[in-house]
Amino acid sequence: MGSCNVPYMSVLLLCFFIGSFFVPQCLSIGDDANQTAFLLVNASEALGRPIPETLFGIFFEEINHAGAGGLWAELVSNRGFEAGGPNIPSNIDPWSIIGNESSSLTLSTDDSSCFERNKVALRMEVLCDTEGTNICPAGGVGVYNPGFWGMNIEKGKKYNVVLYVRSSGAINVSVSLTGPNGLETLATHDITASASQVSNWTKMEVLLEANATNPNARLQLTTTRKGVIWFDQVSAMPNDTYKGHGFRSELAEMLADLKPKFIRFPGGCFVQGGRLKNAFRWKSTIGPWEERPGHFGDVWMYWTDDGLGYFEFLQLTEDLGALPVWVFNIGISLNDQVSTSNIRPFVQEALDSIEFARGDPNSTWGSMRAAIGHPEPFDLRHFALGNEDCGNKNYQGNYLKFYDAIKKAYPDIKIITTCDRFSQKLDHADLYDYHVYKSAKDMFSMAHQFDLASRDGPKAFVSEYAVNGKTAGKGNILAALAEAAFLIGIEQNSDAVSMASYAPLFVNDNDRRCNCL
């Protein structure tokens, strides 16, 4: 790593005019005079400050459906029917029925899946047939999944559909991508199998090529054959994900254009959880996607199947040429916590996570990474202990247990505390995490936040900043200027601030949880 010397530009803005926003503040000569902006720049070499190579990066949190229904390319929502948790009957939303539930078919869930960590499966009993007194409708009966507020299916593109099937008899199931009402067929493929072929759980894979474009499409599983069919782990992914690693190409390319030097992940409050039982647990997010149990993010209140897990985050940082900044739960959620005397298992989880990222392919956890297909270690250099936890009664004690263990095993890793140096003296930290969410007016004043910050000891990591509230909306010039002013202050004080990233990264308009610009 290195740094470059960039002169500090002392800027005096005498007047500016943008659209019709600031007319009263502008200086003009006569009513018809052209508006003039004067910019004085002091580019003296003496005022230059070193800017860290890592100064600007990005922060990803599973909020606003940024991953599930966003950057992660999985099209099916609740693919394993687990959104209600391990208990049955489970919540199968947004899966819905095709046909008349009283006369055509019945749906239920049971715990018959072949996957030990997610036992819930969908049981579909088809009551109609191709002959007799109860004839199935021409299009068949079954279930459909609209994805995350509609699947964006594009003409000419291919989609990989994977599903696990079991049946008490022979099956003939149509796997289709259709328009939102099921009347327009964009792509379809029939799966036929004898009773002996599907008497046990069987993995089926089809490749569908769309013959038309529809941004509101859905996936359908239909049949006209009477009998009982079980479905589980139904996935649909575009064939052309970013570098073949499961990320939506157009969104990942936008991130690549930002040229981030680091990615902080996976949160945020998502790391903490409202309760520890719903916190992000990395070991449940690695390995085959079918075996990941998923979890309910009880801070932002939606289910994620954890297809976007620890390994995928590490892969994304590598694909973008960025450093990973791994945020780890230190036994504290928003509503419960682990005492320092009992924190050792959490510390071991942290050490295991580092070994997974950096360990030799022959090590316990490094071998698991290698088995996934990545024998080379990832370049993990930064480890953030907690998120906004400093005021918690167990934070200091827990933090020191993590700090000592990690530094002993990996002395080169830079450890980030959530306690900021504005409120207390900091020991045992390489960086301190600083979050700022303000109105546009207050964000302008934050440009001077680090002017008097100490240049000795831990540097600042401004991992979350944004104009929020009424002055943010869905984006406006005032909020953008306020954030730009704040960033100018960070550049001016780049000897006191090492890293900075905006939050949140993505917002799905259908589930806007954060009123930030």
Locus of tokens 């099921």: 182
Q: Prior bond to 266 cis, omega within 30?
A: yes
pLDDT of residue 24: 37
Is the pLDDT at 23 greater than 90, yes or no?
Answer: no
Q: What is the mean pLDDT of residues 327-352?
A: 97
Distance CA 380, CA 268 (A): 19
pLDDT of residue 22: 37
Distance CA 404, CA 397 (A): 11
- Residue 384: band (very low, low, confident or very high) from pLDDT cuts 50, 70, 90: very high
Tens digit of each residue's pLDDT (9 = 90 or more) over 211-221: 999 999 999 99
Is the pLDDT at 6 greater than 70, yes or no?
Answer: no
Q: What is the mean pLDDT of residues 470-482?
A: 90
Lowest mean pLDDT among 16-20, 331-335, 409-413, 467-471: 16-20
Question: Encoding tokens for residue 177?
Answer: 């991508």
Tens digit of each residue's pLDDT (9 = 90 or more) over 500-512: 999 999 999 999 8
Indicate the DSSP class of residue 270: H
CATH 2.60.120.260 residue ranges for the chain: 96-238
Is the pLDDT at 421 greater than 80, yes or no?
Answer: no
Find, among 447, 430, 429, 451, the residue nearest to 438 by Cα. 447
The 3-state DSSP class for residue 254 equals helix
Give how far the C-alpha of residue 117 lies from the chain's centroid of Cα atoms, to the nearest Å: 22
Fold exhibited by the domain 96-238: Jelly Rolls (2.60.120)
List, as own/partner pairs, every contact residues 369-376 make where C-beta atoms lie below 8 angstroms and the sequence separation is at least 24, other chains included: 369/311, 372/286, 372/287, 372/311, 374/311, 374/315
Half-sphere exposure of 343 (CA within 13 A, CB side): 24
The 3-state DSSP class for residue 187 equals strand
Question: Encoding tokens for residue 452?
Answer: 């008097």
Residue 496's beta-bridge partner residues?
none
Tens digit of each residue's pLDDT (9 = 90 or more) over 190-217: 999 999 999 999 999 999 999 999 999 9
Distance CA 371, CA 367 (A): 6
Neighbours of 441 (CB within 10 A): 11
Distance CA 480, CA 487 (A): 11
Fold exhibited by the domain 56-72+241-502: TIM Barrel (3.20.20)
Is the pLDDT at 412 greater than 80, yes or no?
Answer: yes
- Residue 229: band (very low, low, confident or very high) from pLDDT cuts 50, 70, 90: very high
Is the Cβ–Cβ distance between 357 and 295 less than 8 Å? no
Distance CA 21, CA 4 (A): 37
Indicate the DSSP class of residue 34: P
Residues of the chain above pLDDT 70, percent? 92
Distance CA 476, CA 310 (A): 34
The gap between the terminal CA atoms of the chain, to the nearest Å, is: 31
Distance CA 389, CA 394 (A): 9
Residue 49's beta-bridge partner residues?
6
421 vs 204: which has the higher pLDDT: 204
Is the Cβ–Cβ distance between 255 and 70 less than 8 Å? no
Counting every residue written for the chain, the total comes to 517
Q: Prior bond to 94 cis, omega within 30?
A: yes
Rg of the chain over Cα atoms, rounded to whole angstroms, equals 27
Question: Encoding tokens for residue 401?
Answer: 């247990």
Is the pLDDT at 318 greater than 60, yes or no?
Answer: yes
Is the pLDDT at 28 greater than 60, yes or no?
Answer: no
Question: Encoding tokens for residue 432?
Answer: 């301190």
- Residue 4 makes CB contacts below 8 A (sequence gap 6+) with 50, 51, 53
175 membership: H or E segment, kind and range: strand 171-178
Report phi then psi at 359, rounded to 5.
-70, 155
Instruction: Read off the amino acid at residue 31.
Output: D
Helices (H), 420-501: 440-445, 477-492
What average pLDDT does the chain have? Answer: 91
Question: Encoding tokens for residue 496?
Answer: 């006191």
Distance CA 70, CA 55 (A): 26
Distance CA 337, CA 392 (A): 9
Neighbours of 468 (CB within 10 A): 20
pLDDT of residue 472: 87
Report phi then psi at 513, rounded to 5.
-100, -15
Lowest mean pLDDT among 75-84, 286-295, 451-460: 451-460
CATH 3.20.20.80 residue ranges for the chain: 56-72+241-502
- Residue 220 makes CB contacts below 8 A (sequence gap 6+) with 98, 142, 143, 144, 174, 175, 176, 177, 178, 182
- Residue 515: band (very low, low, confident or very high) from pLDDT cuts 50, 70, 90: low
pLDDT of residue 33: 59
Instruction: Read off the amino acid at residue 194.
Output: S
Half-sphere exposure of 47 (CA within 13 A, CB side): 11
Distance CA 207, CA 23 (A): 58
Q: What is the mean pLDDT of residues 119-141?
A: 95
Is the pLDDT at 517 greater than 80, yes or no?
Answer: no
Is the Cβ–Cβ distance between 436 and 465 less than 8 Å? yes
Neighbours of 130 (CB within 10 A): 12
pLDDT of residue 153: 98
Q: What is the mean pLDDT of residues 237-257?
A: 98
7 vs 131: which has the higher pLDDT: 131
